[in-house]
Amino acid sequence: MSIVETANLFFDACETGKGWAACKAWCHPGATFSAQANALAGVKTVEAYCDWIKGLLVAVPDGHYELKALSLDDQRQVVTVFAVFHGTHTVDGPVAATNKTFAADYVYAMQFNGDKITHMTKIWNDLHSLKQLGWA
């Protein structure tokens, strides 16, 4: 399986809220995570991020992604995924349900070591999403 196929399988499992239990097969143990987003300030591992998305989908049960692009930088062994995440906050958590919708543009940059993800960076304007949801 190519790293592009691995990245695509990981991305789908993560973004559909399957959590770390499903996603760990495509990652090195201890795979790191980074994002310049306050909403993810304490999230330092891919494991924690996968479970964060799983939790988000409790409050936004109709959450779903729209895949825009997937690319490979073969020289650097990085796969990037550009998508838009859509959803409506209909279940209480982390605040009372606002019934507001959001559409968030974001990119994952997944660094591979061999056939597994060793680091992932999420590029996302969290404040824009939080404002759309009425959380900020």
User: Which pLDDT value is given to residue 17?
Assistant: 98
Q: Token pair of 47, please?
A: 């494991």
Helical residues (DSSP H) of the chain, grouped into ranges: 3-15, 19-23, 46-59, 126-133
**In terms of Cα–Cα distance, which of 128, 132, 134, 126 is closest to 37?**
126
The total number of structural domains that make up the chain: 1
User: Which pLDDT value is given to residue 118?
Assistant: 98
Distances (CA, A) of 35 to 27, 81, 125: 18, 15, 10
User: Which pLDDT value is given to residue 94?
Assistant: 86
User: Which pLDDT value is given to residue 67?
Assistant: 98
Q: Which domain holds residue 112?
A: 3-133
Task: Show contacts of 81-84: CB within 8 Å, 24+ apart.
Answer: 81/7, 81/8, 81/11, 81/107, 81/108, 81/110, 82/106, 82/107, 83/11, 83/15, 83/107, 83/108
Give the mean model confidence (pLDDT) for residues 93-109: 95
CATH of the domain at 9: 3.10.450.50
Per-residue pLDDT tens over the stretch 41-79:
999 999 999 999 999 999 999 999 999 999 999 999 999
Q: Token pair of 22, please?
A: 């499903």
